Each structure stands twice: as structure tokens, then as C-alpha cells.
């Protein structure tokens, strides 16, 4: 099954569209069907689109299974990086994020 | 010979809403058809950016340009996802050519809302970490990866925004409630002295020359 983002949402997509798409396809992915997300024609896809889509789906299923069943096509390099980064976020635990953040926090607050 | 000066575009200078930032009055016109965004209309927002400012970004090519639009768009998105601003967002911009100094030209883009501040939203987590009632610590927390009001596995919008700013010689001054942050070369976050009734981002992108329209020359 291929979802053409530009037909479903238009050329500009963000958090709301990511959540809507996650709601549309969650049951299919859980039923072990594969889905492809087609970025052709999308002008701007905000990082929050990827976070919302993959983060919401990762709440209901294993991230490895999600990665094997859901894939992007016709994405730009930046969209690909955002996709990978959001999958990485979905794998990162709160404790891991805390460890990474401690030193940066010190630098910011002085 | 008469020197031609660039007037630039000063959408910050017409106002009916006002905001005091660093002792300056930054004024935003809340009734200009160009700049207020009462609803989350991504298409209109990006068309506005293209019409008003993207011609300045012609030199910023490919991935960098896409990343810049993503970064600015993410801030716009945050207003409607988190701030509950009664007037939505006001977007404004100004270009500084600095013709008489060595400073590179700068494009300032401002995105302002008068909704819930970031420290206020983050302080909702103070049960987990009592430190977060401090506005500076709360504001810093917003830049931590994995922070979202919607679940721990999907918050990285502000962290991505920060990475973009730090990688691209850009700078952001962010005012939210009593929190003040400068993100860029010398990032730091402190408690401010004056409370801003909402959140204001002043995004500074350097090295972008102004290409004036004929009517903008005087």
C-alpha cells in the first residue's frame, strides 16, 4: 500500500498530518501489512511530521517491526535524515536522553 | 554622487501589538493582512515566506534552504501545537545591510505569540523535576532531545532547530515568559528581567544580501 502524501495532505505537512497518517495506518502495520509513504510533490515536511508519525506508531509496536513495514520513497536527503533521526528518537529511552543532555545543559546554563 | 541606501523591508515597524524586548520596543502589527496567522495554515505561512523573504534565500541552496524552512516552520508549528495563543502567530522580518561596517548582512525573522510560555508549559513537569519551576532551567529543558508534551518518544523539534542554528552561523534570541535564550555560537540561557507575555523568536540569518525591489530604493 502506498500513501501519496501530496494527495492526502497537500504540499506542506507537519505534526497534525503526521498524527493523522499514524492513525490511518497503525492498524494495518499491526496486522503486519507493509506501507510506503511517497514524498513526491511535498514541498515542506517539518521535523514534527516525522516525529509525530513515527513516535505515535512506535508507542504501539516494536520499532524494528515498524522500520521493516513502513518505508519512505521519493524523499529528499533531508527528509531521509529526518526519517532516520525520528526512528532513532523512537528507540532512545528517556534515561539515554538524560545522559546525553546533562553536559549540554550545563553549557547552556553556565 | 548620491549614495543609494537600502531601506529594506520593515514589517516590524508598523504596529498595534507591542512587546518590549531588551529595552527596545519591538512592535508588531496585528492587523496587517500579511503578517498575522490566526490559524495553523502551513500553506499560507510558507507562501508568505516565499513571497516576502525567500528571494533573499536564493543564495541558500538545496539542503540548507530546506533545513532553514524546516527550522522556521517548526517554530510556527509550535505556536499552534503548544502555545494556545489567542491571536495565533505574528510573523515579521527585517533586513540589515550594514553597508558602513564589516558586519555581514543579516536577515531577522521574528515569530511571536501571546499564548502559554515555554517555561509555563515545561513547569507542568515540575513534579518529575522540581528544578523546572526555574524559567531558565525550564527553557533549557525545551531544547533537550526527547522532550514533547505529547509523549517521550517524539520530542526533538526544538533540539533540531538548535542544531540547525548552531551549524549554520545563525542565531536566535528567544524570549518566553521570564526565560531568555541565545542559541548560536555562544549559546546561553538565563532568567530574564522582564516578563514577556508569550514567546518571541528573533531568528538571525547572516550573509544574506538584500536584493531590493525598485520601490524599496530611496
- Residues of chain A with C-beta less than 8 angstroms from the C-beta of B180: none
Q: Is the torsion defined by CA of B167, B172, B174, B179 positive or negative? A: positive
Length of chain A: 110
- pLDDT (0 to 100) of residue B83: 86
- pLDDT (0 to 100) of residue B210: 59
ipTM: 0.84
CB-nearest to A46 from B43, B77, B155 is B77
- Residues of chain A with C-beta less than 8 angstroms from the C-beta of B155: 51, 89
- Give the range among A97-101, B17-21, B32-36, B151-155 with minimum mean pLDDT: B17-21
For every residue of B183-215, DSSP letters joined together read: ESTT-EEEEEEEEEEEEEEEEEEES------GG
Residues of chain A with pLDDT under 70: none
Backbone angles phi, psi at A93, to 5 degrees: -85, 165
Percent of chain B at pLDDT exceeding 90? 5
Q: How large is the angle between the packed helices B62-78 and A47-60, nearest 10 degrees?
A: 70
Q: Are A28 and A68 in contact (CB under 8 A)?
A: no
Q: Are A25 and A36 in contact (CB under 8 A)?
A: no
Task: State the CB neighbour count (10 A cutoff) for residue B39.
Answer: 9
Does the distance separating the beta carbons of A108 and B140 come in below 8 Å? yes
In the predicted structure, residue B30 carries a pLDDT above the cut 70:
no
Find cell 503486519 and name the residue: A32
Pick the residue with more confidence: B75 or B213?
Answer: B75
Percent of chain B at pLDDT exceeding 70? 67
Q: What average pLDDT does chain B have?
A: 72
By three-state DSSP, how is residue B167 classified? helix
Distance from CA of B143 to the nearest CA of A (A): 9
Read off the pLDDT band of B183 (50, 70, 90): confident
- pLDDT (0 to 100) of residue A91: 84
Read off the pLDDT band of B18 (50, 70, 90): very low
For every residue of A7-73, DSSP letters joined together read: HHT-SEE-HHHHHHHHHHHHHHHHTT--EEEE-TT--EE-HHHHHHHHHHHHHHS-HHHHHHHEEEE
Instruction: Report the chain B residue with the minimal C-alpha distance to residue A91.
Output: B153
- Residues of chain B with C-beta less than 8 angstroms from the C-beta of A12: 42-43, 45-46, 73
CB-nearest to B144 from A12, A13, A97 is A97
Closest CA to B74 of A75, A45, A54: A45
- pLDDT (0 to 100) of residue B28: 37
Backbone angles phi, psi at B170, to 5 degrees: -100, 180
Amino acid at each position: 500500500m502506498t500513501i501519496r502524501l501530496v494527495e492526502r495532505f497537500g504540499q506542506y505537512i507537519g505534526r497534525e498530518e503526521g498524527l493523522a497518517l499514524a492513525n490511518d495506518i497503525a492498524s494495518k502495520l499491526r496486522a503486519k501489512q507493509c506501507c510506503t509513504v511517497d514524498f513526491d510533490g511535498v514541498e515542506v515536511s517539518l521535523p514534527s511530521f516525522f516525529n509525530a508519525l513515527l513516535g505515535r506508531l512506535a508507542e504501539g509496536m516494536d520499532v524494528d517491526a515498524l522500520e521493516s513495514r513502513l518505508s519512505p520513497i521519493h524523499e529528499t536527503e533531508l527528509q531521509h535524515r529526518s526519517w532516520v533521526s525520528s526512528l532513532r528518537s523512537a528507540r532512545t529511552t528517556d534515561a539515554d536522553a538524560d545522559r546525553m543532555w546533562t553536559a549540554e545543559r550545563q553549557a547552556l546554563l553556565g | 554622487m548620491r549614495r543609494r541606501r537600502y531601506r529594506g523591508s520593515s514589517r516590524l515597524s508598523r504596529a498595534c501589538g507591542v512587546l518590549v524586548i531588551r529595552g527596545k520596543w519591538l512592535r508588531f502589527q496585528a492587523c496587517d493582512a500579511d503578517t498575522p496567522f490566526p490559524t495553523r495554515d502551513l500553506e499560507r505561512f510558507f507562501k508568505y515566506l516565499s513571497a516576502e523573504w525567500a528571494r533573499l534565500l536564493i543564495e541558500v541552496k538545496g539542503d540548507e534552504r530546506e533545513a532553514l524552512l524546516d527550522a522556521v516552520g517548526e517554530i510556527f508549528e509550535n505556536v499552534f501545537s503548544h502555545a494556545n495563543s489567542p491571536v495565533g502567530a505574528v510573523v515579521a522580518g527585517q533586513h540589515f545591510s550594514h553597508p558602513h561596517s564589516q558586519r555581514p548582512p543579516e536577515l531577522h525573522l521574528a515569530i511571536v505569540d501571546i499564548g502559554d510560555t515555554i517555561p509555563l508549559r515545561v513547569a507542568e513537569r515540575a513534579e518529575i523535576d522540581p528544578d523546572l519551576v526555574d524559567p531558565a532551567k525550564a527553557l533549557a529543558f525545551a531544547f533537550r532531545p526527547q522532550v514533547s508534551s505529547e509523549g517521550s518518544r517524539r520530542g526533538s523539534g526544538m533540539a533540531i532547530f538548535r542544531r540547525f542554528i548552531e551549524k549554520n552561523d545563525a542565531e536566535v534570541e528567544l524570549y518566553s515568559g521570564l526565560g531568555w535564550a541565545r542559541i548560536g555560537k555562544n549559546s546561553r540561557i538565563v532568567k530574564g528581567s522582564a516578563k514577556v507575555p508569550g514567546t518571541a523568536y528573533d531568528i538571525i540569518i547572516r550573509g544574506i544580501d538584500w536584493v531590493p525591489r525598485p520601490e524599496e530604493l530611496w
